[in-house]
Structure 1
Amino acid sequence: MDKFLNKIILGDSLEVLRQIPDNSVDAVITDPPYASGGKTTGEKSALPSIKYAKNKVVHRPDFVGDTKDSRSWLHWCVLWIGECHRILKDNGYFLMFSDWRQLPTATDAVQMADLVWRGVVAWDKGLCSRAPHKGYFRHQCEYIVWGTKGKCKKAVHAGPYAGCLRYQVLQKDKFHITGKPTALMEELVKIVPEGGIILDPFVGSGTTAVAAKKQNRNFIGIEKTEVYYNIALNRLKEI
Protein backbone atom coordinates (compact mmCIF):
# COMPACT_ATOMS: atom_id res chain seq x y z
CA MET A 1 0.00 0.00 0.00
CA ASP A 2 2.91 2.37 0.70
CA LYS A 3 3.84 2.48 -2.99
CA PHE A 4 0.45 4.10 -3.74
CA LEU A 5 -0.14 6.32 -0.72
CA ASN A 6 0.12 10.08 -1.37
CA LYS A 7 1.30 9.45 -4.90
CA ILE A 8 -0.07 10.03 -8.38
CA ILE A 9 0.48 7.09 -10.71
CA LEU A 10 0.77 7.52 -14.46
CA GLY A 11 -1.22 4.78 -16.17
CA ASP A 12 -4.58 3.33 -17.15
CA SER A 13 -7.00 3.45 -14.23
CA LEU A 14 -8.27 -0.11 -14.57
CA GLU A 15 -4.77 -1.55 -14.70
CA VAL A 16 -3.59 0.42 -11.67
CA LEU A 17 -6.78 -0.15 -9.66
CA ARG A 18 -6.28 -3.91 -9.94
CA GLN A 19 -2.98 -3.53 -8.06
CA ILE A 20 -4.43 -1.67 -5.05
CA PRO A 21 -5.23 -3.91 -2.03
CA ASP A 22 -8.77 -4.79 -0.97
CA ASN A 23 -10.53 -2.72 1.70
CA SER A 24 -7.82 -0.07 1.80
CA VAL A 25 -9.38 3.37 1.15
CA ASP A 26 -12.03 5.39 2.95
CA ALA A 27 -13.54 7.16 -0.05
CA VAL A 28 -13.46 7.35 -3.82
CA ILE A 29 -13.97 10.89 -5.11
CA THR A 30 -13.54 11.23 -8.84
CA ASP A 31 -14.44 13.10 -12.01
CA PRO A 32 -14.25 10.54 -14.84
CA PRO A 33 -14.52 11.40 -18.54
CA TYR A 34 -18.23 12.00 -19.19
CA ALA A 35 -18.14 10.93 -22.85
CA SER A 36 -20.92 13.46 -23.25
CA GLY A 37 -21.12 16.93 -24.75
CA GLY A 38 -23.25 16.14 -27.79
CA LYS A 39 -26.39 14.50 -29.16
CA THR A 40 -24.96 12.74 -32.18
CA THR A 41 -22.10 10.24 -32.53
CA GLY A 42 -20.05 12.84 -34.39
CA GLU A 43 -20.56 15.46 -31.69
CA LYS A 44 -19.68 13.02 -28.90
CA SER A 45 -16.55 11.89 -30.75
CA ALA A 46 -15.16 15.42 -31.00
CA LEU A 47 -12.10 16.41 -29.00
CA PRO A 48 -12.78 17.56 -25.41
CA SER A 49 -11.35 20.98 -26.27
CA ILE A 50 -14.16 21.36 -28.82
CA LYS A 51 -16.94 19.88 -26.68
CA TYR A 52 -16.21 21.44 -23.31
CA ALA A 53 -13.88 24.43 -23.61
CA LYS A 54 -15.95 27.55 -23.17
CA ASN A 55 -12.95 29.87 -23.00
CA LYS A 56 -11.31 29.66 -26.42
CA VAL A 57 -8.56 32.09 -25.45
CA VAL A 58 -7.03 29.89 -22.72
CA HIS A 59 -5.71 26.67 -24.28
CA ARG A 60 -5.68 23.50 -22.21
CA PRO A 61 -4.54 20.09 -23.49
CA ASP A 62 -7.03 17.44 -24.54
CA PHE A 63 -7.39 14.20 -22.61
CA VAL A 64 -8.17 10.60 -23.58
CA GLY A 65 -11.17 8.34 -22.98
CA ASP A 66 -14.01 10.74 -23.77
CA THR A 67 -15.42 9.34 -27.04
CA LYS A 68 -17.45 6.33 -25.86
CA ASP A 69 -21.12 5.91 -26.72
CA SER A 70 -23.61 5.50 -23.87
CA ARG A 71 -23.57 1.69 -23.71
CA SER A 72 -19.79 1.32 -23.86
CA TRP A 73 -19.44 4.12 -21.29
CA LEU A 74 -21.80 2.23 -18.96
CA HIS A 75 -19.84 -1.01 -19.40
CA TRP A 76 -16.55 0.77 -18.75
CA CYS A 77 -17.93 2.51 -15.66
CA VAL A 78 -19.15 -0.77 -14.18
CA LEU A 79 -15.64 -2.21 -14.62
CA TRP A 80 -13.76 0.56 -12.81
CA ILE A 81 -16.45 1.18 -10.20
CA GLY A 82 -16.40 -2.55 -9.47
CA GLU A 83 -12.68 -2.28 -8.71
CA CYS A 84 -13.38 0.73 -6.49
CA HIS A 85 -15.98 -1.36 -4.62
CA ARG A 86 -13.31 -3.95 -3.88
CA ILE A 87 -10.78 -1.33 -2.77
CA LEU A 88 -13.19 0.61 -0.54
CA LYS A 89 -13.40 -0.22 3.14
CA ASP A 90 -16.78 -1.35 4.44
CA ASN A 91 -19.12 1.66 4.72
CA GLY A 92 -16.74 3.70 2.54
CA TYR A 93 -18.02 6.56 0.36
CA PHE A 94 -18.16 6.68 -3.44
CA LEU A 95 -18.62 10.07 -5.17
CA MET A 96 -18.67 10.43 -8.96
CA PHE A 97 -19.21 13.62 -10.97
CA SER A 98 -21.60 13.58 -13.93
CA ASP A 99 -23.35 16.03 -16.23
CA TRP A 100 -27.09 15.94 -16.90
CA ARG A 101 -26.75 13.80 -20.02
CA GLN A 102 -24.97 10.93 -18.29
CA LEU A 103 -26.67 11.23 -14.91
CA PRO A 104 -29.17 8.36 -15.43
CA THR A 105 -26.43 6.07 -16.75
CA ALA A 106 -24.08 7.00 -13.91
CA THR A 107 -26.68 6.06 -11.30
CA ASP A 108 -27.18 2.72 -13.07
CA ALA A 109 -23.43 2.06 -13.12
CA VAL A 110 -23.05 2.70 -9.38
CA GLN A 111 -25.78 0.18 -8.58
CA MET A 112 -24.57 -2.39 -11.13
CA ALA A 113 -21.18 -2.32 -9.37
CA ASP A 114 -22.92 -3.34 -6.09
CA LEU A 115 -22.63 0.00 -4.33
CA VAL A 116 -25.66 1.41 -2.53
CA TRP A 117 -26.81 4.53 -4.37
CA ARG A 118 -27.65 7.16 -1.75
CA GLY A 119 -28.50 10.23 -3.80
CA VAL A 120 -27.31 13.11 -5.96
CA VAL A 121 -25.54 16.30 -4.89
CA ALA A 122 -25.85 19.35 -7.13
CA TRP A 123 -22.84 21.52 -7.88
CA ASP A 124 -24.11 25.01 -8.75
CA LYS A 125 -21.57 26.76 -10.99
CA GLY A 126 -23.41 30.11 -11.00
CA LEU A 127 -25.14 32.34 -13.52
CA CYS A 128 -22.09 32.55 -15.80
CA SER A 129 -22.94 29.05 -17.03
CA ARG A 130 -23.77 28.46 -20.67
CA ALA A 131 -27.23 28.51 -22.24
CA PRO A 132 -27.57 27.87 -26.01
CA HIS A 133 -30.13 30.68 -26.34
CA LYS A 134 -32.66 32.65 -24.30
CA GLY A 135 -35.24 29.88 -24.43
CA TYR A 136 -33.03 27.53 -22.41
CA PHE A 137 -32.51 27.01 -18.72
CA ARG A 138 -28.81 27.50 -18.04
CA HIS A 139 -26.60 24.42 -17.78
CA GLN A 140 -25.81 25.74 -14.34
CA CYS A 141 -25.34 22.49 -12.44
CA GLU A 142 -23.27 19.38 -12.63
CA TYR A 143 -23.98 16.48 -10.31
CA ILE A 144 -22.27 14.16 -7.88
CA VAL A 145 -23.72 10.66 -7.74
CA TRP A 146 -22.91 9.27 -4.31
CA GLY A 147 -23.23 6.00 -2.54
CA THR A 148 -21.61 3.72 0.00
CA LYS A 149 -20.17 0.25 0.24
CA GLY A 150 -22.84 -1.15 2.50
CA LYS A 151 -24.30 0.82 5.36
CA CYS A 152 -23.92 4.59 5.60
CA LYS A 153 -22.60 5.01 9.14
CA LYS A 154 -23.17 8.07 11.28
CA ALA A 155 -20.22 10.45 11.16
CA VAL A 156 -18.72 11.82 14.36
CA HIS A 157 -16.16 14.21 12.85
CA ALA A 158 -18.56 16.28 10.69
CA GLY A 159 -21.91 16.31 8.89
CA PRO A 160 -24.60 16.29 7.76
CA TYR A 161 -23.10 17.46 4.49
CA ALA A 162 -24.62 20.03 2.13
CA GLY A 163 -26.72 18.60 -0.71
CA CYS A 164 -26.05 21.59 -2.97
CA LEU A 165 -22.60 23.12 -3.27
CA ARG A 166 -22.07 26.57 -4.83
CA TYR A 167 -18.59 27.20 -6.19
CA GLN A 168 -17.80 29.29 -9.25
CA VAL A 169 -15.17 28.15 -11.74
CA LEU A 170 -12.22 30.55 -11.63
CA GLN A 171 -9.79 30.57 -14.54
CA LYS A 172 -6.80 31.09 -12.22
CA ASP A 173 -7.79 27.88 -10.40
CA LYS A 174 -8.55 25.81 -13.51
CA PHE A 175 -5.75 23.58 -14.80
CA HIS A 176 -7.79 21.09 -16.86
CA ILE A 177 -10.48 21.45 -19.55
CA THR A 178 -13.06 19.99 -17.16
CA GLY A 179 -11.28 20.92 -13.91
CA LYS A 180 -13.29 21.40 -10.75
CA PRO A 181 -12.69 24.24 -8.24
CA THR A 182 -10.16 23.38 -5.55
CA ALA A 183 -12.50 24.78 -2.88
CA LEU A 184 -15.26 22.41 -4.05
CA MET A 185 -12.95 19.42 -3.78
CA GLU A 186 -11.74 20.57 -0.36
CA GLU A 187 -15.35 20.49 0.80
CA LEU A 188 -15.91 16.99 -0.57
CA VAL A 189 -12.82 15.41 0.98
CA LYS A 190 -14.17 16.36 4.41
CA ILE A 191 -16.56 13.40 4.28
CA VAL A 192 -13.73 11.34 5.75
CA PRO A 193 -11.85 12.26 8.96
CA GLU A 194 -8.35 13.71 8.87
CA GLY A 195 -5.84 11.00 8.05
CA GLY A 196 -8.35 9.12 5.88
CA ILE A 197 -7.42 7.86 2.41
CA ILE A 198 -9.14 9.19 -0.72
CA LEU A 199 -8.77 7.50 -4.10
CA ASP A 200 -9.23 9.36 -7.40
CA PRO A 201 -8.82 7.06 -10.44
CA PHE A 202 -9.09 10.03 -12.84
CA VAL A 203 -7.13 12.68 -10.99
CA GLY A 204 -6.53 14.90 -14.05
CA SER A 205 -4.62 18.02 -13.02
CA GLY A 206 -4.52 16.78 -9.42
CA THR A 207 -7.23 18.84 -7.75
CA THR A 208 -8.53 16.01 -5.56
CA ALA A 209 -4.97 15.28 -4.40
CA VAL A 210 -4.30 18.97 -3.76
CA ALA A 211 -7.54 19.28 -1.78
CA ALA A 212 -6.76 16.17 0.25
CA LYS A 213 -3.28 17.39 1.10
CA LYS A 214 -4.57 20.84 2.11
CA GLN A 215 -7.19 19.25 4.36
CA ASN A 216 -4.82 16.75 6.01
CA ARG A 217 -6.20 13.72 4.21
CA ASN A 218 -4.17 11.09 2.35
CA PHE A 219 -4.69 10.40 -1.35
CA ILE A 220 -4.06 8.01 -4.21
CA GLY A 221 -4.32 9.46 -7.72
CA ILE A 222 -4.24 7.84 -11.15
CA GLU A 223 -3.90 9.72 -14.43
CA LYS A 224 -3.52 8.40 -17.98
CA THR A 225 -2.73 11.64 -19.86
CA GLU A 226 0.93 12.45 -19.27
CA VAL A 227 0.67 16.22 -19.67
CA TYR A 228 -1.95 16.38 -16.90
CA TYR A 229 0.05 13.94 -14.76
CA ASN A 230 2.95 16.39 -14.88
CA ILE A 231 0.69 19.34 -14.08
CA ALA A 232 -0.66 17.45 -11.06
CA LEU A 233 2.85 16.70 -9.78
CA ASN A 234 3.86 20.34 -10.12
CA ARG A 235 0.77 21.50 -8.26
CA LEU A 236 1.52 19.15 -5.37
CA LYS A 237 5.10 20.39 -5.17
CA GLU A 238 3.83 23.95 -4.72
CA ILE A 239 1.88 23.11 -1.55
Structure 2
Amino acid sequence: MFDKIIDSLGEPYFQTENCLIYNADCVTSMIKLPPEMIDLTVTSPPYNIGKEYEKKMDLSDYLDWCKSWLKEIYRLTTSNGSFWLNLGYQSVENIGKAIPISYFLWDKTAFFLIQEIVWNYGAGVACKNFFSPRNEKFLWYAKDPENYIFNLDDVRDPNVKYPNQKKNGKLKVNPKGKNPTDVWQFPKVTSGRNRSSNERTPHPAQFPIAVIDRIIKASSNPQDVILDPFLGSGTTAIASINLNRKFIGFEINKTYCDIAVARIKQKLSQPVQTCLSL
Protein backbone atom coordinates (compact mmCIF):
# COMPACT_ATOMS: atom_id res chain seq x y z
CA MET A 1 0.00 0.00 0.00
CA PHE A 2 2.81 2.43 0.84
CA ASP A 3 4.35 1.60 -2.55
CA LYS A 4 1.12 2.72 -4.21
CA ILE A 5 1.21 5.99 -2.29
CA ILE A 6 4.82 6.66 -3.26
CA ASP A 7 4.04 5.79 -6.88
CA SER A 8 1.25 8.38 -6.77
CA LEU A 9 2.97 11.14 -4.83
CA GLY A 10 6.70 10.55 -5.23
CA GLU A 11 9.27 10.22 -2.49
CA PRO A 12 8.04 11.37 0.94
CA TYR A 13 9.70 13.99 3.10
CA PHE A 14 10.15 11.33 5.77
CA GLN A 15 9.53 7.59 5.83
CA THR A 16 9.74 4.73 8.31
CA GLU A 17 8.42 1.20 8.05
CA ASN A 18 4.95 2.31 9.14
CA CYS A 19 4.92 6.06 8.55
CA LEU A 20 4.93 8.42 5.55
CA ILE A 21 5.09 12.20 5.84
CA TYR A 22 4.79 14.57 2.90
CA ASN A 23 5.74 18.25 2.99
CA ALA A 24 2.94 19.16 0.61
CA ASP A 25 -0.52 20.65 0.22
CA CYS A 26 -3.00 18.03 1.35
CA VAL A 27 -5.73 18.76 -1.21
CA THR A 28 -3.55 18.48 -4.31
CA SER A 29 -1.86 15.42 -2.80
CA MET A 30 -5.01 13.55 -1.77
CA ILE A 31 -6.51 14.02 -5.24
CA LYS A 32 -3.69 11.83 -6.63
CA LEU A 33 -4.31 8.89 -4.28
CA PRO A 34 -6.45 5.80 -5.01
CA PRO A 35 -9.88 5.70 -3.30
CA GLU A 36 -10.85 3.83 -0.12
CA MET A 37 -7.37 3.33 1.32
CA ILE A 38 -7.74 5.15 4.67
CA ASP A 39 -9.40 3.51 7.68
CA LEU A 40 -9.44 6.57 9.91
CA THR A 41 -8.70 10.27 9.48
CA VAL A 42 -8.00 12.40 12.55
CA THR A 43 -7.18 16.03 11.97
CA SER A 44 -7.44 19.64 13.03
CA PRO A 45 -7.29 22.10 10.13
CA PRO A 46 -6.48 25.82 10.49
CA TYR A 47 -9.34 27.67 12.18
CA ASN A 48 -9.06 30.78 9.95
CA ILE A 49 -8.43 33.06 12.92
CA GLY A 50 -5.10 34.52 11.84
CA LYS A 51 -2.62 32.14 13.48
CA GLU A 52 0.99 32.24 12.31
CA TYR A 53 0.51 29.14 10.13
CA GLU A 54 -2.49 30.41 8.16
CA LYS A 55 -3.64 33.26 5.97
CA LYS A 56 -7.05 34.49 7.06
CA MET A 57 -9.74 34.16 4.38
CA ASP A 58 -13.26 35.45 3.93
CA LEU A 59 -15.63 33.01 5.58
CA SER A 60 -17.16 31.89 2.27
CA ASP A 61 -13.70 31.19 0.81
CA TYR A 62 -12.68 29.32 3.94
CA LEU A 63 -15.77 27.12 3.79
CA ASP A 64 -15.19 26.40 0.09
CA TRP A 65 -11.61 25.37 0.89
CA CYS A 66 -12.86 23.13 3.72
CA LYS A 67 -15.30 21.43 1.37
CA SER A 68 -12.44 20.61 -1.00
CA TRP A 69 -10.50 18.56 1.56
CA LEU A 70 -13.65 17.12 3.11
CA LYS A 71 -14.53 15.72 -0.31
CA GLU A 72 -11.13 14.05 -0.70
CA ILE A 73 -11.13 12.57 2.80
CA TYR A 74 -14.52 11.00 2.08
CA ARG A 75 -13.27 9.53 -1.20
CA LEU A 76 -10.19 8.05 0.47
CA THR A 77 -12.06 6.50 3.41
CA THR A 78 -12.84 2.78 3.47
CA SER A 79 -16.46 1.63 3.56
CA ASN A 80 -16.39 1.12 7.36
CA GLY A 81 -13.99 3.97 8.06
CA SER A 82 -14.39 7.06 10.22
CA PHE A 83 -13.34 10.70 10.23
CA TRP A 84 -12.71 12.76 13.37
CA LEU A 85 -12.57 16.51 12.83
CA ASN A 86 -11.44 18.96 15.50
CA LEU A 87 -12.59 22.56 15.20
CA GLY A 88 -12.33 25.67 17.33
CA TYR A 89 -14.17 28.97 17.21
CA GLN A 90 -14.41 31.92 14.88
CA SER A 91 -15.66 35.45 15.29
CA VAL A 92 -18.10 36.57 12.59
CA GLU A 93 -18.84 40.26 12.24
CA ASN A 94 -22.40 41.20 13.24
CA ILE A 95 -23.16 37.52 13.91
CA GLY A 96 -21.26 36.27 16.93
CA LYS A 97 -18.14 36.53 19.05
CA ALA A 98 -17.15 32.86 19.30
CA ILE A 99 -19.10 30.63 16.92
CA PRO A 100 -17.99 26.96 16.82
CA ILE A 101 -16.72 26.33 13.30
CA SER A 102 -18.50 22.97 13.46
CA TYR A 103 -21.77 24.91 13.10
CA PHE A 104 -20.62 25.98 9.63
CA LEU A 105 -19.23 22.64 8.50
CA TRP A 106 -21.19 19.80 10.06
CA ASP A 107 -23.31 19.24 6.93
CA LYS A 108 -20.74 20.11 4.25
CA THR A 109 -19.69 16.51 3.64
CA ALA A 110 -21.16 13.21 2.47
CA PHE A 111 -20.10 11.58 5.75
CA PHE A 112 -22.76 10.59 8.30
CA LEU A 113 -22.40 12.56 11.55
CA ILE A 114 -22.37 10.10 14.45
CA GLN A 115 -21.76 12.50 17.31
CA GLU A 116 -20.25 15.72 18.57
CA ILE A 117 -17.62 15.25 21.28
CA VAL A 118 -16.71 18.11 23.60
CA TRP A 119 -13.08 18.25 24.70
CA ASN A 120 -12.92 20.12 28.02
CA TYR A 121 -9.47 21.32 29.06
CA GLY A 122 -8.21 23.23 32.08
CA ALA A 123 -6.01 26.03 30.80
CA GLY A 124 -7.06 28.85 28.52
CA VAL A 125 -7.66 32.55 28.04
CA ALA A 126 -9.36 34.39 30.91
CA CYS A 127 -12.26 36.64 29.87
CA LYS A 128 -14.19 39.47 31.53
CA ASN A 129 -17.24 40.03 29.37
CA PHE A 130 -18.16 36.38 28.71
CA PHE A 131 -17.33 32.96 30.16
CA SER A 132 -13.72 31.85 29.69
CA PRO A 133 -13.49 29.32 26.82
CA ARG A 134 -12.47 25.86 28.02
CA ASN A 135 -13.56 23.48 25.26
CA GLU A 136 -13.23 22.53 21.62
CA LYS A 137 -15.41 20.28 19.49
CA PHE A 138 -14.75 17.04 17.66
CA LEU A 139 -17.16 15.91 14.97
CA TRP A 140 -17.17 12.13 14.61
CA TYR A 141 -18.25 11.02 11.15
CA ALA A 142 -18.67 7.56 9.60
CA LYS A 143 -18.89 6.66 5.93
CA ASP A 144 -21.58 4.06 6.61
CA PRO A 145 -23.94 4.78 9.56
CA GLU A 146 -24.65 1.06 9.94
CA ASN A 147 -21.09 -0.24 9.65
CA TYR A 148 -18.25 1.52 11.43
CA ILE A 149 -15.60 0.60 13.99
CA PHE A 150 -16.30 1.46 17.60
CA ASN A 151 -14.09 -0.29 20.16
CA LEU A 152 -15.76 0.86 23.36
CA ASP A 153 -13.98 -1.70 25.55
CA ASP A 154 -10.62 -0.28 24.45
CA VAL A 155 -11.44 3.19 25.79
CA ARG A 156 -13.59 2.52 28.85
CA ASP A 157 -12.92 4.72 31.89
CA PRO A 158 -11.79 2.54 34.83
CA ASN A 159 -12.62 5.32 37.31
CA VAL A 160 -15.98 3.90 38.43
CA LYS A 161 -17.47 5.21 41.67
CA TYR A 162 -19.07 1.92 42.72
CA PRO A 163 -17.22 -0.80 40.76
CA ASN A 164 -18.54 -3.67 42.87
CA GLN A 165 -22.19 -2.70 42.96
CA LYS A 166 -24.49 -5.62 42.08
CA LYS A 167 -28.08 -6.15 41.06
CA ASN A 168 -29.64 -9.60 41.39
CA GLY A 169 -26.20 -10.97 42.14
CA LYS A 170 -24.59 -9.54 38.97
CA LEU A 171 -22.23 -6.63 38.62
CA LYS A 172 -24.03 -3.51 37.39
CA VAL A 173 -20.87 -2.02 35.91
CA ASN A 174 -18.72 -3.44 33.13
CA PRO A 175 -15.54 -4.73 34.83
CA LYS A 176 -13.47 -2.88 32.21
CA GLY A 177 -15.00 0.45 33.23
CA LYS A 178 -17.67 2.90 32.14
CA ASN A 179 -18.40 4.62 28.86
CA PRO A 180 -16.35 7.86 28.82
CA THR A 181 -19.42 9.86 27.60
CA ASP A 182 -19.35 12.63 25.01
CA VAL A 183 -17.51 15.13 27.24
CA TRP A 184 -13.79 14.40 27.52
CA GLN A 185 -11.56 16.00 30.11
CA PHE A 186 -7.92 16.06 29.09
CA PRO A 187 -5.40 18.78 30.00
CA LYS A 188 -4.25 21.06 27.22
CA VAL A 189 -0.64 21.06 26.06
CA THR A 190 0.51 24.15 27.94
CA SER A 191 3.52 26.41 27.46
CA GLY A 192 5.43 28.72 29.77
CA ARG A 193 8.53 28.53 31.91
CA ASN A 194 6.85 26.98 34.97
CA ARG A 195 3.88 25.12 33.50
CA SER A 196 5.02 23.77 30.14
CA SER A 197 3.76 20.27 29.33
CA ASN A 198 6.36 17.52 28.95
CA GLU A 199 5.25 16.87 25.36
CA ARG A 200 5.35 20.55 24.36
CA THR A 201 6.94 21.46 21.00
CA PRO A 202 7.38 24.88 19.32
CA HIS A 203 4.13 24.36 17.39
CA PRO A 204 1.56 26.96 18.58
CA ALA A 205 -1.51 24.67 18.48
CA GLN A 206 -0.46 21.24 19.71
CA PHE A 207 -2.79 18.43 20.73
CA PRO A 208 -2.22 16.23 23.78
CA ILE A 209 -1.45 12.66 22.76
CA ALA A 210 -4.10 11.35 25.19
CA VAL A 211 -6.97 12.83 23.16
CA ILE A 212 -5.81 11.36 19.85
CA ASP A 213 -4.95 8.07 21.57
CA ARG A 214 -8.59 7.61 22.62
CA ILE A 215 -9.89 8.41 19.14
CA ILE A 216 -7.55 5.97 17.41
CA LYS A 217 -8.29 3.18 19.89
CA ALA A 218 -12.04 3.70 19.54
CA SER A 219 -12.25 4.07 15.77
CA SER A 220 -9.57 1.80 14.32
CA ASN A 221 -7.83 -1.52 14.76
CA PRO A 222 -4.14 -2.48 14.81
CA GLN A 223 -2.54 -2.35 11.34
CA ASP A 224 -5.20 0.09 10.09
CA VAL A 225 -4.13 3.14 8.09
CA ILE A 226 -4.49 6.52 9.80
CA LEU A 227 -4.41 9.83 7.94
CA ASP A 228 -3.80 13.36 9.19
CA PRO A 229 -3.90 15.84 6.29
CA PHE A 230 -2.94 18.74 8.60
CA LEU A 231 -0.09 17.10 10.47
CA GLY A 232 1.14 20.05 12.52
CA SER A 233 3.45 18.88 15.29
CA GLY A 234 2.85 15.20 14.50
CA THR A 235 0.71 14.14 17.46
CA THR A 236 -1.50 11.88 15.32
CA ALA A 237 1.61 10.19 13.95
CA ILE A 238 2.99 9.57 17.45
CA ALA A 239 -0.32 8.15 18.68
CA SER A 240 -0.60 5.92 15.60
CA ILE A 241 2.90 4.53 16.08
CA ASN A 242 2.20 3.92 19.77
CA LEU A 243 -0.90 1.91 18.85
CA ASN A 244 0.55 -0.20 16.03
CA ARG A 245 -1.21 1.59 13.20
CA LYS A 246 0.21 2.74 9.89
CA PHE A 247 0.28 6.48 9.30
CA ILE A 248 0.18 8.99 6.45
CA GLY A 249 0.51 12.72 7.06
CA PHE A 250 0.59 15.92 5.02
CA GLU A 251 1.99 19.21 6.26
CA ILE A 252 2.59 22.23 4.04
CA ASN A 253 4.90 23.97 6.51
CA LYS A 254 8.43 22.54 6.41
CA THR A 255 9.25 23.76 9.93
CA TYR A 256 6.32 21.79 11.33
CA CYS A 257 7.34 18.76 9.28
CA ASP A 258 10.73 18.93 10.97
CA ILE A 259 9.10 19.13 14.41
CA ALA A 260 6.99 16.06 13.62
CA VAL A 261 9.96 14.14 12.23
CA ALA A 262 12.05 14.90 15.32
CA ARG A 263 9.26 13.60 17.57
CA ILE A 264 8.88 10.43 15.52
CA LYS A 265 12.63 9.78 15.53
CA GLN A 266 12.72 10.26 19.28
CA LYS A 267 9.80 7.87 19.70
CA LEU A 268 11.40 5.20 17.50
CA SER A 269 14.73 5.51 19.32
CA GLN A 270 13.14 4.44 22.59
CA PRO A 271 14.01 0.88 23.71
CA VAL A 272 10.48 -0.54 23.45
CA GLN A 273 8.90 -0.20 20.03
CA THR A 274 6.74 -2.24 17.68
CA CYS A 275 7.61 -2.64 14.02
CA LEU A 276 4.87 -3.31 11.50
CA SER A 277 5.12 -5.24 8.27
CA LEU A 278 3.64 -3.35 5.34
- 1:230 is the counterpart of 2:258: yes
Query: TM-score w.r.t. structure 1 length?
Result: 0.81
User: Any conservation in 2 of the 1:96–1:146 contact (CA below 8 Å)?
Assistant: yes
Aligned: 1:118 with 2:118: no
Q: TM-score, normalised by structure 2?
A: 0.70
Q: Which of 187, 199, 209 pairs up with 1:173? A: 199
Q: Quote how far apart the aligned CAs of 1:158 are.
A: 3.3
Provide the residue aligned with 1:2 in structure 2.
Answer: 2
The one of 174, 177, 193 aligned to 2:221: 193
Give the structure with the larger helix fraction: 1
Give the aligned partner of residue 213 of structure 1: 241
Offset of residue 76 of structure 1: 0.5
CA distance in 2, matches of 1:204, 1:116: 26
Q: CA deviation at 1:113?
A: 2.3
Of 115, 121, 135 in structure 2, the residue corresponding to residue 141 of structure 1 is 135
One-letter identity of the residue aligned with 2:127: P
Alpha-carbon distance change, 77 to 16 in structure 1, aligned in 2, over 3 angstroms: same
Tell me by how many angstroms 1:145 deviates. 1.4
Q: Which has the higher contact order (CA 8 A, sep 6+)?
A: 1
Amino acid at match of 1:117: L
Deviation at 1:123, TM superposition (A): 0.8
**Is this contact kept in 2: 1:124–1:164, CA < 8 A?**
yes
- Count residues in correspondence: 213
Q: Which runs of 5+ in 2 are unaligned?
A: 6-17, 91-97, 154-178, 190-195, 268-278
The corresponding residue for 1:30 is 43
Contact 2:238 2:264 in 1 (8 A): yes
Q: Which has the larger radius of gyration?
A: 2
Q: CA RMSD in A?
A: 2.1
What amino acid is aligned across from residue 113 of structure 2 in structure 1? W
Instruction: Write the mapping of 1:4-153 to structure 2, written as runs, cut at 5 A.
Output: 4=5, 6-36=19-49, 46=50, 48=51, 62-63=52-53, 65-101=54-90, 105-126=101-122, 128-133=123-128, 135-153=129-147
* Alpha-carbon spacing, 1:184–1:199, altered in 2? closer, same or farther (3 Å): same
The aligned counterpart of 1:163 is 182
Asked whether the equivalents of residues 197 and 217 of structure 1 are also in contact (C-alpha less than 8 Å), the reply is: yes
What's the CA shift for 1:216? 1.2
Select between 107-116 and 83-92 the one with higher mean Cα deviation.
107-116
Amino acid at match of 2:187: Q
Answer whether contact 2:47 2:89 (CA < 8 A) is retained.
no
**CA distance in structure 1 between the aligned counterparts of 2:61 and 2:40, rounded to whole angstroms:** 25
Is the 2:102–2:137 contact (alpha carbons within 8 Å) kept by the matching residues of 1? Answer: no
- Letter of the structure 1 residue corresponding to residue 40 of structure 2: A
Percentage identity across paired residues of the two chains: 25
Superposed displacement of residue 105, structure 1? 4.7
Unaligned runs of 5+ in 1: 37-45, 49-61
In 2, the alpha carbon distance for the partners of 1:156 and 1:75 equals: 30
